[in-house]
Each structure stands twice: as structure tokens, then as C-alpha cells.
Copies of this chain bind each other. A is one copy, B any other.
């Protein structure tokens, strides 16, 4: 497995270089995982991407580097200490970086000579391919998909120059992933929404959720999806609810700050029993926080957001495949129970690219409301002893469909009666019981010989999985983990079983207060014995978890 870091200022082309390189590596068979570290600015500053690739599947990133590819001086200075002893540094000849590990290419000068300073990145790509023993077999196809036709030739030329200007250092390890996909968490989520039959997406731009809207907008005409940029997040969610009421499967997406503005309408979805899916792509708060970085700190908020009490479901995405399948499931649950479903993702998952097996779309059945055809009176909120009343879409038959944010009777008209109030509250809240029967238990990682149990949720799944492997190799103790996807209602069966033999329970979270630990205690009384919490906006890696567990003193 290899791991390289490519860094530079915003606007220098790090992004394009990386996305092409990743695809080339994946085409040649590797399993690729890459993650971005961005500053909140358009030009300048310091950004980098970590690209990890190997012949076996990997679940996350690592900070231990085989190579540094530097567009600027800062990249070297900031990251040299992360380089393995036999690692290399690849950079422009102009940088004042010395050492026998340094490979210099006069890339900026060559690019200029070729006629376009922007192809410097392609020279680097060529050099990297050479260093890792790759061929240039896939260059033409991959570049053809990434640059405008008129720029293809010059880029291929640049790749070749880079390739020829350096020497092979590593062997090509191969792998069987050439026919798998390479995509980001947000792309997987957007695909999942489409597979679920999305018809209407309304959102207000906010990092790191905007790329969902952008992906959908790129397909809207062909796929028949109305993608509407709202004037604010309040409009975005109320639009989604209005569209869903009228029968179009609808979703909105945002990050924590925008989600704040949506919570009143979350209650509307709950009260009026209108299905709706909201994706909250978390970033470090509070408020604007660190807008381009990652955190998992909206959990407690998401499960209790909005005044009053109503049923909801909260699903945290663990990885890229989850982003697809769980988004479909979010729509399914929203439609089946006529509730709001919140998807919690985060910048780490949203922006990282992973190699994923093509999705099985035969499993994308979403519940479809029975069309109640009636000539008589239709009762939108029929109290038939069931949690969910048959749904009718307005305009499709001779029944009137009502939605009301006030407490209402079976027809949807405002009431003041204490009895009706209680019946309606009980009806709505009984959905939570129904949901419990459909919950997905947390994924168990490791084998049954553990004495320490790590607990996580959402996107720390990958790092925790790696940490378990590392730990079970490095120590005589045995480690396993439970990682939650469904977080509300919280599935507790497997948890209750697995904690029995654990001498230590450690929650690993990308937040400062240990939010899942609190929720677990509230729901089960189980207390974690210690916590690994990271809240500096950078995702924890498997090796960092392992180190902290070991330091935490077994």
C-alpha cells in the first residue's frame, strides 16, 4: 500500500492533478482512497490531498507518507516530518528543498515552454507514475475524460516528459479494482437519491453540501429532477415539504448552520406526516467554525432538533457505499412512515474519494404510498389504530388532502380537544416503536476474543476499522469495535450483547463532548470507560486511534 501527499496553494491545480492521478491509479487496478484538506479560500493558503492506493481494499486515509508532491515550499515544510525514512519528495526545481530524498523537476519552466503553465501538474503525474512503476497505458483515456479536447495533446506530452524525467522507485503491485468506481461520498449520496426516485432537490449553497446539488444539477434535465437553489435554507426545506406533499420525492441538503434554519420545518414534516429527507453534511461548529473541515458534532442536535415531540429517523453514513444505499433507505423510511429522515454525513466522507464496487441498483426499492381512491371523504390522518394512515396525493382523486401544522383531527382540521390531541400525539409517536423493528444494528468489527470495545458512528468507521487491525497486530490484547449507522432511534441489541465481555469501552468520535457516548448512556445506561475525541477539523486516522488507545494505558 502506498500513500502520497500532494500539496500547494489554492488555485495551483492540486485538485485537478489529484483527481486525474487517482483515476489513473484506479484504472491500473489499485484500490484508491483520497482525502482533501482545504482552507476556506479560493486562492493561496495551503491545501493538500492524501492519496492512498494499494492492491487491497482500504477504508480510510493515513498520515504516514511514502511521498510528498509539493507545488510549493510550504507543503514540504509542513509535512516533511510525516515522511517515512525511505520516502521521496517531488517538487519543482525552483523550490529550496534539499536532501537525497528530493526529486526535482523543472516543471514550471517546462510547462511554460510547452505553451501552458497549467500543465505543470501533468508533468508531476507522469513523474509519479514512473516512480510507482506504472505504465502510461491509461493516460489517453483518463485525460480525455478530464480535459477539453484541445488541451489533450499538450497534457499527454507533459505526462510523458514527467515520466521520462525520473526513475522508478516502487513496484506496481496491481489489484483487481479497475472496473470499480472512484467517487466521493457526496456523489454516492446524490446517486442514491436518484436511485430512490428523487424528483425535487432544493438547497442553499453551503460547504460541504454544495457538491450534492452540483452533481444533481449536472443531470437534472436528463434525469427529470428539478434542482432549485433556494433564497435561504428555510425556503429550501419548506419547498421540499411542499413538493413532497404534492407527490414528488424531495430532499434538501445543507451543513449545520443551514440545518439550524431548517429545524422548524422538520417539525412540520413530523406533524403533517409528510415524508422528507434532509442531508446534514457536518463541518466543525459552532456557527461558521472551520467551514472547509470535518467534524461529527451535530448528532445530539439532529436527534432533538425542533420544539415539541415528533418521530424522526437519523442515519449516519459510515462510508461511500453506505452513502448510496442508506440514502435510498432514508427515502424508503421517510415514505413508509411519513416522517422526516435526517442523513448525517460530514466533510471527510463528502469530499473524500473511494473505490467502490458498482452499486446494486436492484435493491433500490422505495416504499410507495398506496393510492387510496375514494369517492367519499378521505381522512388524511385516519386513526385506524395504526401509526401510518394511507396516503393520498392531492389532485389524484376525489378526496381532499389536508396538511396542518396546528394539532388537527383525522381530516386535518384544527382542533382544541384534549382527547384528539392525545390520540394524534400517540399515533405519531408510535412510529418510533415501528422504526425500532427496522433498525440496523451497529457493524461489529473484529472477532469475539476482545477485551476492549471501541465505539464509533458514521465516518469514523474507516479509521476505526484500520485501528482494530493495527491494534490486534501490535499488542497481545484483543480489540473489537461497534460502529453505528442508524443512530436514532438507537439500536441497542447488539450493543447490550457486546459490552458484556468488554473490560474497556472507548468511544471514538470526531467531536469534543462525546455525543454518541451520551446517547448510549441515555438509552442503555452503559458508560464508556474512556474517550478518544478529536475536534481540530482533521479526521482521525487508524494509526492515530491505535496510538491513542495504546497511550490511554491498557
Contacts and interface: CB of A to CB of B under 8 A. Distances in A.
Interface stretch (A20-28, A222-230, A510-518): A510-518
Contact of A310 (B40, B286, B419): B286
A108 interface: no
A519 B521 CA distance: 10
Contacts of A425: 512, 535
A416 B286 contact: no
A189 B196 CA distance: 50
B536 A429 contact: no
10 contacts: A257-B267, A259-B307, A270-B287, A284-B421, A285-B306, A285-B307, A288-B405, A304-B305, A407-B537, A422-B536
Interface stretch (A68-76, A292-300, A350-358): A292-300
A421 B286 contact: no
Contacts of A307: 255-257, 259-260, 280, 282, 285-286, 297-298, 301
Interface in A21-61: 39-40, 45
B406 A260 contact: no
A290 interface: yes
Interface residues of A, number: 67
A43 to B, nearest CB: 15
Closest 7 CB pairs of A and B: A285-B308, A256-B307, A286-B308, A260-B264, A522-B522, A267-B286, A418-B536
The quantity of this chain's copies bound in the complex is 2
Contacts of A291: 406
A33 to B, nearest CB: 21
Contact of A267 (B255, B287, B513): B287
B260 A286 contact: no
A263 interface: yes
Interface string A400-413: 00001111000000
Among A285, A295, A525, residue most surrounded by chain B Cβ atoms (within 10 Å):
A285
A515 to B, nearest CB: 8
A268 interface: yes
Q: Which of A300, A306, A422 has the most CB of B within 10 A?
A: A306
A305 B298 CA distance: 9
A309 interface: yes
Contact of A268 (B255, B287, B414): B287
A392 B61 CA distance: 44
Nearest to A282: B307
A80 interface: no
A535 B422 contact: yes
A426 B406 CA distance: 42
A472 to B, nearest CB: 29
A261 interface: yes
Nearest to A270: B286
A512 B429 contact: yes
Given A40-B406, A286-B308, 9 more contacts: A261-B261, A267-B285, A285-B307, A286-B405, A287-B406, A304-B305, A426-B512, A518-B522, A521-B525
Interface in A231-275: 234, 255-257, 259-261, 263-264, 267-268, 270-272
A289 interface: yes
Contact of A284 (B280, B407, B527): B407
A538 interface: yes
Interface string A200-215: 0000000000000000
B406 A288 contact: yes
A276 to B, nearest CB: 13
B286 A271 contact: yes
Contact of A537 (B45, B290, B418): B418
Contact of A421 (B406, B421, B535): B535
